[in-house]
Amino acid sequence: MPADTTYLELSEDSGSAHKFYEVTVDGTDVTVRYGRIGDRGQVKQSSFTTTDKAKTEAAKKIGEKVRKGYAPAVPGGRERRSISRRQIVSTRSTASTRAPMLWRYKSGSPAFGIFVDGDVCMVGNESGLITTLSHDAEVVQQFRLPDGVKCLVADDGWIYAGCDDGNVYDLSGKVPRLAYRIAPDIDIYWLDIHDGVLGVSDSGGGIAALDHEDEFLWRRQGHGFSAWMVRCDTDAVHHGHSNGVTSYDWRTGRELWNTRTGPVLFGWQESDTLYAGTARRQVVELGKDGSHRQTYSCDAQVFSCATAEDGRYVFAGDSSSSIYCFDVDGTRLWKLATGCGSAYSMQYRDESLYIVTTDGSLACIDAGEAAIRSAVGGTIPEPIDVKAPPRMPAVVPSTTVEVVHDVAGGVVVECVEEAGRLRIRVVSSGYHGDWQVQFPKGIRERGSRYVVTGVREASRGGFYRAYGDVRRLL
């Protein structure tokens, strides 16, 4: 008998994923091929003792995908998701001395994603590898996403990774879990999240806001033709594009203000201030009412910027592998060479400046006054070359869930179907049973109950956010 193949796709303009799932039954063999539309994908094969058992297993797999929204399709009917990356070749720094680098980890490919807190430092690169290091410069964990990492963003106690496959993954548990799916026609440039609301800027200069269930709150064309900067806060989504910065009400998308700065390549924010790194060799400081406050002048296009607490110092990284520090009145305090390419992203913490670069490095630079003074005088430390342990396993996104038989101090939630979509509600007492719960997408099954470490009410109110580990309750 000829092989029997079923091909399914999940790809909708309303914000779902852009992937396929193919099951082939050939006698007693079942072959599953899956991945992003346009790619070859991954292949898994299983063998069974009889053809009936093979057909039963194939039907089970197909049924699971159909219940999750997959539908029959024709291979090749949809194009691969569009992906844009900065195609930039760094030039040698014009700074006379190198920055006092303490340690450096080479991730293996250009890196945009950076996250630093009191416990860890993280880098995500274009190969999809995310590496977590301690502040003692030891590699402690690695994740492997299906495609390149656009950015790493923190939202309260959650850490998210925006990926070129159009998905946003929650890295807060033991394994990456799918948190948001972004419409396949959006060519993502950058992402930011605040209190569960996701802001997305794209290659066409568009801007969109999605809620905790990855449904559009609004979507509109911006004032420019490209847009790297998006920053979200309690009140607004701030959008940096080829002509400047525009702020929108996060609920409605109503434009609040628009300020011209020149082409924006990156953005940073503090509580009441925005910083736009521009192609005009400047970091422009704006109030969150759109008012111009200060300009910080560099010697080349500004790829990235960051600040010390409350803007006490302003840092910038340019296209010529230099980094800068300014005081609040715009005076340049120093300019030094990175020694490892141009800084695509940066973050300052506890007198250290962390950068991720065009050559894939995550570097820790001592930005204390004594270290900088010594560097300017020509004395710099020999940096530690950090390496991951041999054969360290990289944890991949998973839809596998541990099964438990008791609650064990967690919170019980249940998956229900409403208007054709799977939603999560809290079952445990003491919570609003009619509120939705932000919960990983790929593991939802109608009628199933789960135990999560906890749920936290969003600051905006009206829904909960699950955090910690997820286990299925039997």
Burial grade of 24 (CB within 10 A; 0-12, 13-18, 19 or more): middle
Question: Domain of 164: which CATH number?
Answer: 2.130.10.10
Q: Which domain holds residue 263?
A: 101-386
Work out how many domains the chain is built from and give that number: 3
CA–CA distance, 83 with 217 (Å, rounded to integer): 23
What is the per-residue DSSP string for 399-455?
---EEESS-TT-EEEEEEEETTEEEEEE-STTS-TTSEEE--STT--TT-EEEEEEE
- Residue 82, domain member (yes or no): no
CB 28 within 8 A of CB 47: yes
Same domain membership, residue 428 and residue 381: no
pLDDT in tens, the chain (474 residues): 677 888 888 864 434 457 889 999 988 989 999 887 877 778 888 888 998 898 888 888 888 887 777 777 777 666 666 666 665 555 666 778 999 999 999 999 999 999 999 999 999 999 999 999 999 999 999 999 988 999 999 998 899 999 998 899 999 888 999 999 998 888 889 999 999 999 999 988 999 999 999 999 999 999 988 888 999 999 999 999 999 999 999 999 999 999 999 999 999 999 999 999 999 999 999 999 999 999 999 999 999 999 998 788 999 999 999 999 999 999 999 999 999 999 999 999 999 999 999 999 999 999 999 999 999 998 999 999 999 999 899 999 988 899 999 998 899 999 999 988 999 999 999 999 999 999 998 899 999 999 999 999 999 899 999 998 899 999
Confidence (pTM):
0.82
Beta-carbon contacts of 394 under 8 Å, excluding residues fewer than 6 positions away, are: 129, 142, 143, 144
Same domain membership, residue 407 and residue 354: no
SS3 of 296, please?
A: strand
* AA identity, residue 254: R
307 HSE (CA, 13 A, CB side): 24
Same domain membership, residue 62 and residue 121: no
For the four alpha carbons of 331, 333, 337 and 342, in that order, the dihedral sign comes to negative
Bridge-based pairing state of the strands 384-386 and 313-318: unpaired
Same domain membership, residue 317 and residue 437: no
Q: How far is CA 198 from CA 110, 160, 247, 272, in A?
A: 24, 11, 15, 20
Same domain membership, residue 342 and residue 430: no
CA–CA distance, 177 with 431 (Å, rounded to integer): 24
CA–CA distance, 464 with 458 (Å, rounded to integer): 6
Sheet with 167-170: strands ordered across: 149-155, 158-163, 167-170, 177-181
Q: What radius of gyration do the chain's Cα atoms show?
A: 24
Say which DSSP state 387 is in: -
Q: How far is CA 373 from CA 100, 335, 370, in A?
A: 10, 12, 5
Length of the chain: 474
The H or E element that residue 64 is part of is helix 51-67
Buried b / exposed e over 422-454, threshold 16 CB at 10 Å, is bbbbbbeeebeeebbbbbbbbbbeeebebbbee
Same domain membership, residue 325 and residue 176: yes
CA–CA distance, 49 with 382 (Å, rounded to integer): 62
Same domain membership, residue 205 and residue 280: yes
- Residue 257, domain member (yes or no): yes
Question: Domain of 410: which CATH number?
Answer: 2.40.50
